[in-house]
Amino acid sequence: MKELVRPRRLAPGARVAVVAPSGPVPEERLQAGLDTLRGWDLDPVVGPHVLDRHGEFDYLAGTDADRAADLQSAWCDPTVDAVLCARGGYGVQRMVELLDWDAMRAAGPKVFLGFSDITALHEAFATRLGLVTLHGPMAAGVDFIKNARAQEHLRATLFEPESVRTIASGGRALVPGRARGVLLGGCLCLLAAELGTPHARTSARGGLLCLEDVGEETYRLDRYLTQLLRAGWLDGIAGVLLGSWERCDTYDRVRALVLDRLGGLGVPIVEEFGFGHCEGALTIPFGVRAELDAGAGTGTGTLTLDAPALA
C-alpha cells in the first residue's frame, strides 16, 4: 500500500469550511465548535445546508444533493484551506456518488477532517483523490467542544504536525510485535458496508488498520469482522490499532471477539489507542506510513509517523 499525498498544514488566518455530509447538526454545538476554531485564529465558514434537516428522514442533514453540493463547493473553493465535517451519524453513502471527483481532484489537495460515518469519505478521498485525511474530532462534536485533550491534539496536527509524529496509546498489546505500514481504517461497520462499492479500497494489504465503533452489539461486530475476513480484505495487513468501543458490550467481550477474529492473522494488535467515539480522541492521519510498536504486552503501544501528517 502506497503513501498518499499530504495536504499543507494550516496557518493562522486560514479559511476552513464546515459541512454536514451525514446527520443533522445541533446549532448550539455548531456555534461552540466555531468559537473554538476562531480561538485558533482560523476563519470558519459554514456550508449553506449544514443546519438543514431532511423533510422525511430526520436522521439526515438535508437532502443528499444539498449535502453533496456543500461538500463539493467547499472543496472546490480556492479560498478554502480545509474542509471539516460537523458531525457523523448516517448519510455519506447516500451522497458520495453525487460528488464530481474530477472537479475535486482538479481543485488540488487540502485538509479533510472527520470520523464515524465519515469513514466512507476517508475511503473515497484515498481512492479517488490519493490524499491523506485526518480521522479526528468534528467541529460540532461533543468530544471536540468539551475536551481539551482532543482540541489540543487536533490543533497541533493542523498547525504543528511535526510535534505529534509520535502517538502513545496508553493501551497494551493484545498481540506483541512491530509493524510498518500505511494508516487506514475508521468505523468498523462502515468499512464492512463499503465492501464492493466504487469508492472503497479493494484490500487493506500492507496497511496499519485502525478500527473502532459505537453502539454495536457483539454479534454485529463479529459479523463485520467476519465479513472483512471472508472478503479477503484483511489479507496481508501489517498491524491493527483498536480505538474506542463506546456503548458496545463490556470491553472484555469486545477484546475476546477481536482476538478470536483477528488474533490468527499473526500481526501486532494494540488496544485502547484513544481514537474514535471517546473523550479526548486523538487525531490519526490516514494515508501516512508509520511504525507500530506493540511492545511486549505490558507497556504502552506507540505509533511513530514516518513524516508529519501535513506538509
Active-site annotation holds for 272: no
pLDDT (tens digit per residue) in 183-200: 999 999 999 999 999 999
Of 274, 80, 69, 102, give the one whose Cα is nearest residue 172.
274
- Judging by DSSP bridges, how do beta strands 284-286 and 173-175 pair with one another? unpaired
Of the listed ranges 17-26, 142-151, 293-302, the least confidently predicted one is 293-302
Percent of the chain past pLDDT 90, that is, above it, reads: 93
pLDDT at residue 101 greater than cutoff 80: yes
| 15-161: CATH topology | Rossmann fold (3.40.50)
pLDDT at residue 207 greater than cutoff 90: yes
pLDDT at residue 298 greater than cutoff 60: no
Instruction: Kindly indicate the confidence band of residue 204, based on its pLDDT and cuts at 50, 70 and 90.
Output: very high
pLDDT at residue 215 greater than cutoff 60: yes
pLDDT at residue 107 greater than cutoff 90: yes
22, 49, 54, 116: the catalytic one is: 116
- Looking at residue 297, its pLDDT comes to 47
pLDDT (tens digit per residue) in 267-296: 999 999 999 999 999 999 999 999 999 875
* pLDDT, averaged across the chain: 96
How many other C-beta atoms are found inside a 10 Å radius of the C-beta of residue 32?
17
Of 63, 211, 213, 39, give the one whose Cα is nearest residue 139.
39
pLDDT (tens digit per residue) in 219-232: 999 999 999 999 99
- Looking at residue 299, its pLDDT comes to 58
Active-site annotation holds for 116: yes
pLDDT (tens digit per residue) in 110-160: 999 999 999 999 999 999 999 999 999 999 998 899 999 999 999 999 999
Distance CA 19, CA 10 (A): 18
Distance CA 224, CA 167 (A): 27
- Of these ranges, 62-66, 169-173, 301-305, the one predicted with the greatest mean pLDDT is 62-66
123, 194, 212, 271: the catalytic one is: 212
What's phi and psi for 143, nearest 5 deg?
-65, -25
- Judging by DSSP bridges, how do beta strands 302-305 and 166-168 pair with one another? antiparallel
CATH class of 166-305: alpha beta
Return the domain boundaries, the chain.
15-161, 166-305
- Looking at residue 121, its pLDDT comes to 98
CA 144 vs CA 87, 279, 281, 289, 292: distances in Å: 10, 8, 8, 26, 26
